[in-house]
Structure 1
Amino acid sequence: MNPKPSSIEEYISWFPSEIQEKLRIIRETLKKAVPEATEVISYHMPAIKTTEVLVYYAAMKNHLGYYPTNQPIEEFKKELEGFHTSKGAIQIPYSADLPLKLIADIAIFRKEIAKQNAELKKMKKKAR
């Protein structure tokens, strides 16, 4: 495993130029979809977060990994047909066009889930 990158740009720089381009496109898509999110490195991968991490993304040997947790994968099951998915992960082959609308829609969906989770935490705290 590579050492933890100090920034998303450093992480992206580790890969060949064609993969760097795809990672930068995903990064920009996420920034536009959830402009209030903060970019972080978590588990050695780029991620965006609001009150919690919304999605991670990473370059793998044969695909790009997009990690939004399992709930969006269930919610967007129909749109994800044709992609290999597992609990919490979506594999986007390097040969495929990036599904930018889907990437954005999933991030927005996760933002709403994070907002609900934060509200539930607040209510639980008040109930104590």
Structure 2
Amino acid sequence: MKKGTEKVTTVDQYMATVPDAVLPAVEKLRQAIRSAAPKAEEVISYQIPAYKYNGMLVGFGVAQNHIGFYVMSKSILESFTKDIQKYSIATGTIRFPMDEPIPVALVKKIVKARIDENTALKASKLKK
């Protein structure tokens, strides 16, 4: 984010803080998420864009040297190990290099897997 910005309350406000050099990639990531989860609510959580659908789904943020894609699920990351091995990974996060295209198809697959995971989790809680 650009220095000196106020706290953001909407994703559009967050996007306005993204440096011009990475804005197209970040917008592509945002559109991939929205395409895969059209019913998800777009929110700001911990000062980053996040998506809610039957609970927190995914989020993203711009760091100094990468674009973070916050999957918010260790099990989903583990199920995509082969697909994400070329990226730097942290707990629940895939770090996309700023100088490479966003892997839109992979993002959509992960978002859909998270939707399935959240839906199953919600269903199991309702049965109790």
> d(CA) in 2 for partners of 1:84 and 1:63?
9
**Matches of 1:97 and 1:43, distance apart in 2:** 26
- Equivalent position of 2:63 in the other structure: 60
Q: TM-score, normalised by structure 1?
A: 0.91
Counting aligned pairs with the same residue, the percent is 27
For the 8 Å contact 2:25–2:101, the answer to whether it is kept is no
Q: Where do 1:17-28 residues align within 5 Å?
A: 17-28=20-31
In structure 2, how many angstroms separate the alpha carbons of the residues matched to 1:112 and 1:65?
Answer: 22
Shift of 1:18: 2.3
Which of 106-115 and 34-43 deviates more?
Answer: 34-43
CA distance in structure 2 between the aligned counterparts of 1:107 and 1:58, rounded to whole angstroms = 16
Number of equivalences: 124
Could you tell me which amino acid in structure 1 is paired with residue 75 of structure 2?
Q
Residue 104 of structure 2 is aligned to residue 100 of structure 1? yes
Secondary structure of the residue aligned to 2:38 is coil
Inter-partner Cα distance in structure 2 for 1:18 and 1:103: 21
Partners in 1 of 2:28 and 2:101 — Cα distance? Answer: 11
Per the TM alignment, residue 4 of structure 1 is displaced from its structure 2 partner at its CA by 3.1
Give CA deviations for 1:49-83 in whole Å, capped at 9, x if unaligned. Answer: 11111101000000000111212110100000110
Instruction: Check if 1:121 corresponds to 2:125.
Output: yes
Q: Structure 1 residue runs of 4+, over 4 Å off?
A: none
1:20-99 mapped onto 2 (5 Å cutoff): 20-69=23-72, 70-99=74-103
Unaligned runs of 5+ in 2: none
Contact 1:65 1:91 in 2 (8 A): yes
1:10-54 CA-to-partner distances (Å, cap 9, x unmatched) read 101112112222111111111111111111111111011111111
Match of 1:112 among 100, 110, 116: 116
| One-letter code aligned to 1:37 | A
Q: Which ranges in structure 1 are unaligned for 5 or more consecutive residues?
A: none
Letter in 2 for 1:38: E
How far apart, in 1, do the equivalents of 2:83 and 2:54 lie?
26
Q: CA RMSD in A?
A: 1.4
Quick check: 1:67–1:89 contact (8 Å CA) kept in 2? yes
SS of 1:18's equivalent in the other structure is coil
